[in-house]
Structure 1
Amino acid sequence: MSDDFDVQKARAAAWFRQLRDRIVAAFEDLESRQSAEKSGKFEVTPTTRADGGGGGIMSVMRGGVVFEKVGVNWSEVHGTLGERAQKAMAARGVPGMDKDPRFWASGISLVAHMQNPHCPAVHMNTRMFWTPNAWWFGGGADLNPALEYDEDTAHFHAEMKRACDAHDENYYAKFKAWADEYFFVPHRGRARGVGGIFYDDLNTGDWEADFAFTQAVGSAFLPAFLPVTERRFGTQWTDEDREKQLVHRGLYAEYNLVYDRGTKFGLETGHDANAVLMSLPPIAKWT
């Protein structure tokens, strides 16, 4: 069984890396098609854990004509969970954390903040987590517009639903509801965006099926997001539009710093803080 998991972990990590490469290439292509004079490129930086337990790649583009700031990170890390993280895992039903707190994780995490306030910000993440006594997949994607368009929301959700329906007709309703709950900001009494899907702790007992579903979610991201961006990129915007965008970014920053599981896990387990906090917007406002 250990050999099987070694193969599965390698396959998952390789696929997340390939997805990262595809998205980076697509975003750079979008930038180059919008401006011949200013072709945006990602700055790529290797990342490491404080204890030397693996690392990853942080890819960030700043100041593009489409993307004000976008990060696409890939990681493969391993080590021993600290006491606080062990308790959190045990509370989620992971067995044996008090006896063997080793872990391995790999995934891709993406957050894009756009130049045009009519283009929505977006988040996407897919991952696999392993301990000696359990494994699971998690991830999803959600749209975060400052200025909402019903047709953009409908398109994004349709692509997420298509990915879900190909694997289980119950997944979309379940994972959409989970996203609505997870991406809610309690202290503001509102959602941080127009939702999408979110799932965690996915282990049906069929690793191949769960991996295939996670691949489908990752592959659905570009078809869900690029058409929306291309539709809104040329929309004229005002100072009032920009103000709404910056205030909405403040909401996004609050959520990621206070509630987001990935942010907490990354900081608590010693991953590169710059990579963990890549999701924060370059400029934000609070009223």
Structure 2
Amino acid sequence: MKMQAEREMAAAWFRELRDRIVAAFEALEDQGPGDQPAGRFELRETRRAEGGGGGLMSVMREGRVFEKVGVNWSAVHGELSDAARKSMAARGVPGIDSDPRFWASGISLVAHMRNPHAPAVHMNTRMFWTPGAWWFGGGTDLNPCLEITEDTAHFHDTLRAACAPHGVDYYDRFKAWADEYFYIPHRGRARGVGGIFYDDLNSGDWQADFAFTKAVGEAFLPAFLPLAERRMSQPWTDADREAQLIHRGLYAEYNLVYDRGTKFGLATGHDADAVLMSLPPMAKWV
């Protein structure tokens, strides 16, 4: 089960989505408040320390709208560690005990906003392949430090509409999965207001599962950009900034302790700076 054409198709689409999001974010920077220069992404190539492949790390810092945002793309391959193979075997991935080869490609995005009223956001979509199996995963979730009900509703309504053509239960299933996955046990709370999350998606129809994954990626900008545009010029106080920094501490705790993508990236030798791009530029703990 080589699936070479499918892998190339998926990697190319993830790369194209990355390019469109970068362009949209830079256009938003041009419209942002303030007299400072509009932010621009700094781009560098990344390589795996072991195995093959790499990607593009794109990070914008200290912009008018974004305090820090990363939009990364990767396509990597090699052999899984014993720990990763055991984990996948426990999830029921066939053949992983006898053949450790893997291939993975995807896009990963995290945005930390300058204005405390503008919500932080995460999105990723990916395809994973082993000689015995393939699957898609990903999702997006909203992380406001100061929740605004209408923003939460818009985000979820957009995701619900994106899911509907692909499965009558997809939104409800994947929203519940996000609520469970993006939960911080040691804090007893979610890290944000949720979204959707899915993994190990293999219905047996590669085209259908890829179409759904593309729909998730396509829904991201309509779900998030209106919120950023609406909030980027809203007045804020020192107390709002304090709340933002403390909330970012929660985000950092989750990504360092629980996030599956962070663990996988570091365990498979991918560029550590690219893996840890998700961390906020500044955070605070009480």
Q: TM-score, normalised by structure 2?
A: 0.98
Q: For 1:65-87, what per-residue CA distance to the aligned partner results, in whole angstroms no more than 9, with x for missing partners?
A: 10000000000000000101111
**Matching residue of 2:260:** 261
Structure 1 unaligned segments of length 5 or more: list them.
none
Q: For 1:124-170, what per-residue CA distance to the aligned partner results, in whole angstroms no more than 9, with x for missing partners?
A: 00000000000000000000000000000000001111110021111
**Matching residue of 2:181:** 182
**Matching residue of 1:15:** 13
Residue 32 of structure 2 contacts residue 233 of structure 2 at CA under 8 Å; is this kept in 1?
no
**Matching residue of 1:274:** 273
Whole-angstrom CA distance in 2 between matches of 1:214 and 1:95: 22
**Matching residue of 1:202:** 201
Q: For 1:103-127, what per-residue CA distance to the aligned partner results, in whole angstroms no more than 9, with x for missing partners?
A: 0000000000000000000000000
Task: Judge which range, 129-138 or 86-95, deviates more.
Answer: 86-95
Quote how far apart the aligned CAs of 1:260 are. Answer: 0.2
Structure 2 unaligned segments of length 5 or more: list them.
none
Quote how far apart the aligned CAs of 1:275 are. Answer: 0.2
**Matching residue of 2:72:** 73
* Aligned AA (2:126): R
Partner-residue secondary structure (3-state), 1:18: helix
For residues 103-142 of structure 1, the aligned pairs below 5 Å read 103-142=102-141
Partner-residue secondary structure (3-state), 1:264: helix
Q: For 1:196-252, what per-residue CA distance to the aligned partner results, in whole angstroms no more than 9, with x for missing partners?
A: 000000000000000000000000000000001111111110000000000000000
Partner-residue secondary structure (3-state), 1:74: strand
* Aligned AA (1:17): R
Q: Are 2:20 and 1:25 aligned?
A: no
Whole-angstrom CA distance in 1 between matches of 2:51 and 2:45: 13
Task: Judge which range, 36-45 or 101-110, deviates more.
Answer: 36-45
Whole-angstrom CA distance in 1 between matches of 2:246 and 2:31: 29
Partner-residue secondary structure (3-state), 2:26: helix
Q: Are 2:224 and 1:243 aligned?
A: no
For residues 145-164 of structure 1, the aligned pairs below 5 Å read 145-164=144-163
Q: For 1:29-61, what per-residue CA distance to the aligned partner results, in whole angstroms no more than 9, with x for missing partners?
A: 000122575121100010000014100000000
Whole-angstrom CA distance in 2 between matches of 1:87 and 1:52: 19
* Aligned AA (1:166): P
Q: In angstroms, what is the RMSD of aligned CA positions?
A: 0.8
**Matching residue of 1:216:** 215
Whole-angstrom CA distance in 2 between matches of 1:193 and 1:227: 18
Whole-angstrom CA distance in 2 between matches of 1:91 and 1:48: 29
Whole-angstrom CA distance in 2 between matches of 1:26 and 1:216: 18
Change (3 A) 1:263 1:224: same
**Matching residue of 1:91:** 90
Whole-angstrom CA distance in 1 between matches of 2:76 and 2:245: 34
Give the share of equivalent positions with the same residue, in percent: 74
Whole-angstrom CA distance in 2 between matches of 1:73 and 1:16: 10
* Aligned AA (2:31): R
